[in-house]
C-alpha cells in the first residue's frame, strides 16, 4: 500500500502535535484542551479519530466538497439576471444586496461581490496610498458642531444633462443629515437650507464651513462697515452672528472629511435610488430626498452620540428668521424717495414717507419670500417696484417698423483762411502788436 499525502495547514499541524503528545501520555486532556481552546469532549473525539484514521483526523471532513450552506445555481443565475438590468448596471455589491433583499432575494454582500467580480459586473477598486491626517474624534453631543457644504454633481441624470447643487448639513456627533437640491449655489439658497435646519432642530453651537466666498471674505471692511465698527462679513456670516451661532472655517478639505465622505455616499446611493424611483424633476427630487431618503439615512447611517444631551438652543422671540435670513444691501435714498437695486428702482409708498428719509444712507432687506423692505430708524418701510419709463413715440414707431434711428450726417469742417487785409498778413503790424506794451490806464 502506497503512502498517502495529506495537505495540512499550519493550524492543523499544531493541533496534530498536541494530539500526539496526549496520545503518548506526555500531556493531559485538560491541558491539551486549554492549549487548543477546545472542549474536553471534542478532544476525546479527535483522539478516537486519530487512532482510527491516523493523521488525517485533523483534516475537516468537508474539504474538497461543496459547502452545505452554498446557494443553488438557480439563485445565482436569477440574481445576476436582475443585476444586468439597466437600472442596476452600476450598482455596487452593498447597494445591490439591499435592493435584492427588498425584492425577496437574500444574498450577502460578500457573496454578491464574488459573483459580480466573476462575471465582470464589479471591478474591485485599487487601494490608493493616501496622505495620513490626524484623526479627530467626533463631538460628544448632537448640535455641538454641524458641517455645512455643497456638492456639484449630475444628481438628476435626466435633468437636461446639467449638474445641480446639493447643499447639505451633517451633524458631527450623530451624522444626522439635512440637504436640498438647487440649481445654483447662491446665498439665498444657502439661507433657505439654514432655515430648514433651524426650524427642525434649533440653533447649533457652531457651523463648520470652508473658505468659499459665501462664508468668508478676503477684503477690508467697507465704508459702511467701518462707520458701524464691524468687520467685513458675508450675508451668511452676518446672519450667524445675529443668531448667536459661531462660524468655524476649515483650512483644508480633509478637515471637514465627514461631509466630504457623505457626499461620496450620496453621489453613489442617492442618484441610483432616484433612478429606481423614477424621479425626473427637481421638485420630485426634493420631495423624494425629504420624505424617503433622509429617513432612510437616519436609520442606516446615524450613530448614537457619547452624550444624549441636545446642544441645540431654541429659537426665541427675538430671532425673527424673515429679517435675519435676508440679503441686506446699503443704498442712498434719492430725493424722490426711491432706491436702485440690481438695475430696478424701488420706491416708498406715499403713506409710508416720513421726515428725514431723503438722502439717508439705509439698508434694503431682500427677504427669501421675494419682498423688499427698507430699514429706517428701527422700523421697516415697504418698497414697491417702480414702473419703467415709457419709450418715446419715435422709438416705438422705429421698433414696430424694425428700423433703427438714422444717424445724423457729419458736418464738413471748413478751414479758416484770413483775408488779404488781415493784420497778421502785414509783418510790421504783427510785430507792432506783439511788441507794444499794454496801456495801464485802459485796464483801470
pTM of the model: 0.67
pLDDT at 69 (0 to 100): 74
pLDDT category at 76 given cuts 50, 70, 90 is: confident
Across 252-264, b (16+ Cβ under 10 Å) vs e yields eeebbebbeebbe
**Calpha distance 368→31 (Å, rounded):** 77
pLDDT at 379 (0 to 100): 85
pLDDT category at 124 given cuts 50, 70, 90 is: confident
Q: Give 407: exposed, middle or buried? Use CB within 10 Å, 0-12, 13-18, 19+.
A: exposed
346 Cα distance to chain centroid: 34
| Residue 152 reports pLDDT greater than 60 | yes
pLDDT at 431 (0 to 100): 52
pLDDT at 194 (0 to 100): 95
| Residue 138 reports pLDDT greater than 70 | yes
- For 228-252, the pLDDT digits (tens) are 677 778 999 999 999 999 999 998 8
**Calpha distance 161→26 (Å, rounded):** 77
Helix (H), strand (E) at residue 241: helix 235-243
Q: Which of 60-74, 301-315, 335-349 is predicted least confidently?
A: 60-74
- For 298-307, the pLDDT digits (tens) are 999 999 999 9
| Residue 426 reports pLDDT greater than 80 | no
pLDDT at 367 (0 to 100): 92
**C-alpha cell read off for 276:** 429606481
**Calpha distance 237→214 (Å, rounded):** 8
Q: Give 55: exposed, middle or buried? Use CB within 10 Å, 0-12, 13-18, 19+.
A: middle
| Residue 441 reports pLDDT greater than 60 | no
| Residue 271 reports pLDDT greater than 80 | yes
pLDDT at 389 (0 to 100): 60
| Residue 68 reports pLDDT greater than 80 | no
| Residue 186 reports pLDDT greater than 80 | yes
Cβ–Cβ under 8 Å, residues 210 and 256: yes
| Residue 388 reports pLDDT greater than 90 | no
pLDDT at 402 (0 to 100): 61
| Residue 321 reports pLDDT greater than 60 | yes
Q: Which of 77-81, 260-264, 427-431 is predicted least confidently?
A: 427-431
Cβ–Cβ under 8 Å, residues 223 and 183: no
Task: Provide the 8-state DSSP code for 310.
Answer: B
- Report, in angstroms and rounded to the nearest whole number, the Rg of the chain calculated over CA atoms: 41
pLDDT category at 97 given cuts 50, 70, 90 is: confident
251 Cβ contact partners less than 8 Å away, ≥ 6 residues apart: 211
- For 187-233, the pLDDT digits (tens) are 999 999 999 999 999 999 999 999 988 998 877 777 766 776 777 78
**Of 105-119, 240-254, 382-396, where does the model show the most confidence?**
240-254
Answer with the residue of higher pLDDT: 131 or 101: 101
pLDDT at 443 (0 to 100): 45
CATH homologous superfamily for the domain 146-300: Ribonuclease H-like superfamily/Ribonuclease H (3.30.420.10)
**Calpha distance 377→380 (Å, rounded):** 8
Percent of the chain residues past pLDDT 70, beyond the cut = 85
Amino acid at each position: 500500500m502506497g503512502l498517502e499525502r495529506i495537505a495540512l495547514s499550519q493550524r492543523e499541524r499544531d493541533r496534530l502535535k498536541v494530539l500526539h503528545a496526549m496520545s503518548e501520555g506526555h500531556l493531559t486532556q485538560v491541558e491539551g484542551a486549554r492549549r487548543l481552546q477546545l472542549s474536553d469532549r471534542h478532544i476525546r473525539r479527535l483522539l478516537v479519530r486519530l487512532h482510527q484514521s491516523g493523521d488525517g483526523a485533523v483534516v475537516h471532513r468537508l474539504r474538497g466538497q461543496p459547502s452545505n450552506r452554498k446557494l443553488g445555481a438557480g439563485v445565482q443565475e436569477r440574481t445576476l439576471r436582475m443585476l444586468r438590468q439597466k437600472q442596476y448596471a452600476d450598482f455596487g455589491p452593498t447597494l445591490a444586496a439591499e435592493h435584492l433583499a427588498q425584492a425577496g432575494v437574500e444574498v450577502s454582500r460578500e457573496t454578491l461581490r464574488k459573483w459580480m467580480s466573476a462575471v465582470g459586473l464589479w471591478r474591485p477598486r485599487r487601494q490608493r496610498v493616501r496622505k495620513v491626517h490626524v484623526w479627530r474624534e467626533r463631538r460628544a453631543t448632537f448640535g455641538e458642531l454641524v458641517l455645512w457644504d455643497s456638492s456639484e454633481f449630475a444628481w438628476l441624470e435626466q435633468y437636461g444633462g446639467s449638474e445641480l447643487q446639493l447643499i447639505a448639513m451633517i451633524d458631527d456627533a450623530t451624522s444626522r443629515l439635512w440637504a436640498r437640491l438647487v440649481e445654483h449655489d447662491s446665498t439665498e439658497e444657502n439661507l433657505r437650507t439654514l432655515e430648514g435646519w433651524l426650524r427642525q432642530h434649533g440653533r447649533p453651537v457652531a457651523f463648520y464651513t470652508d473658505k468659499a466666498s459665501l462664508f468668508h471674505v478676503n477684503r477690508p471692511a467697507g465704508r459702511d462697515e467701518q462707520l458701524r465698527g464691524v468687520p467685513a462679513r458675508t450675508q451668511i456670516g452676518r446672519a450667524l452672528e445675529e443668531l448667536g451661532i459661531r462660524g468655524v472655517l476649515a483650512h483644508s478639505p480633509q478637515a471637514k472629511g465627514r461631509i466630504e465622505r457623505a457626499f461620496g455616499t450620496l453621489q453613489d446611493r442617492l442618484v441610483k435610488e432616484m433612478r429606481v424611483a423614477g424621479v425626473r424633476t427637481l421638485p420630485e427630487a426634493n420631495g423624494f430626498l425629504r420624505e424617503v431618503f433622509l429617513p432612510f439615512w437616519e436609520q442606516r447611517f446615524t450613530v448614537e452620540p457619547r452624550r444624549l444631551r441636545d446642544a441645540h438652543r431654541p429659537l426665541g422671540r427675538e430671532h425673527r428668521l424673515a429679517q435675519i435670513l435676508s440679503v441686506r444691501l446699503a443704498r442712498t435714498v434719492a430725493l424722490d424717495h426711491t432706491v436702485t437695486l440690481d438695475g430696478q428702482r424701488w420706491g416708498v409708498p406715499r403713506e409710508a414717507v416720513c421726515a428725514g428719509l431723503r438722502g439717508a444712507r439705509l439698508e434694503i432687506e431682500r427677504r427669501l419670500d421675494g419682498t423688499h423692505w427698507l430699514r429706517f430708524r428701527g422700523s421697516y418701510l415697504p418698497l414697491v417696484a417702480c414702473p419703467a419709463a415709457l419709450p418715446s413715440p419715435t422709438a416705438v414707431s422705429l421698433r414696430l417698423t424694425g428700423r433703427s434711428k438714422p444717424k445724423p450726417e457729419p458736418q464738413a469742417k471748413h478751414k479758416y483762411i484770413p483775408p488779404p487785409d488781415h493784420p497778421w498778413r502785414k509783418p510790421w503790424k504783427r510785430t507792432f502788436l506783439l511788441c507794444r506794451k499794454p496801456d495801464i490806464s485802459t485796464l483801470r
